[in-house]
Amino acid sequence: MSPKPIITPDKFDAVLFDLDGVITATAKIHAACWKRMFDDFLSRRAVESGRTLQPFDLATDYKHYVDGKLRYDGVQSFLASRGIELPFGTPQDPPGTATVCGLGNLKDEMVKEKIRHGEVDIHPDGVALARHVRTLGLKTAVVSASKNCQEVLEAVGLAELFDVRVDGNVADDLDLPGKPAPDTFLQAAAMLQVQPERAVVVEDALSGVAAGRAGGFGLVIGVDRKGDALALKEGGADLVVADLRELID
């Protein structure tokens, strides 16, 4: 078991939580939708080009190219890994249009459909830690690349657990770069009126712990959901745990 840090009001004023993989267990939903969308696109592209294209791999591509990133950033990152360039388009592009935005919008429609059908689960340990730090008087924020963050929180009845929400919509409105840039976490800290060195970041994604480290936060906790303990540590986590309840007295 990892050593247990003391998250107390004398050291910290706030805890900033990632959503997917920390509070909610929507990673499987997102991964399945990314794969379905990309594989359909690659299949059409292969027919048009006459070339065999490698399908989206859940074990490697999800983690390296899309996990924790803003949706359009994830589309661009994966397509670049396959040597494919598409016009960026606009956020108003119809789902499925052969643009970065069109593909991202199609993936978003797939995710929303699963949310509407009640396919969202929670990570009890993440919820337990959020509730615990609130009892200590610490402020809480959820910082997510997802534009469906509010819908997901409402679907599982956890919207009131966070004082501040910085999601993909806020990032777009304020023109903030996504993780691994620290800007969304720094925005959450500013909205909570706390200094980064007095705030804790809780993340399961490699891009997320890198963002926490780059932002100069007082403590960056990595949650090992996928057997990535070493990578999380090397990527910027001060501490890696398999279960966030280890941090509760």
Residues tagged active-site? 18, 20
Q: Coil, strand, or helix at residue 104? A: helix
User: For the purposes of burial, counting CB atoms within 10 Å of the CB of 126, is it exposed (0-12), middle (13-18) or buried (19 or more)?
Assistant: buried
Cα dist. 45→19, 40, 86 in Å?
A: 33, 9, 12
CB-based contacts of 92, cutoff 8 Å, min separation 6: 101
Which tokens go with 101?
Answer: 């935005």
Could you write out the DSSP letters of every residue in 51-81? Answer: ---PPPPTTTHIIIIITTS-HHHHHHHHHHH
Residue 173 region by backbone torsions, left for phi larger than 0, else alpha for psi between -120 and 50, else beta: alpha
Give me the helix-helix angle, 206-214 and 183-192, nearest 10°. 60
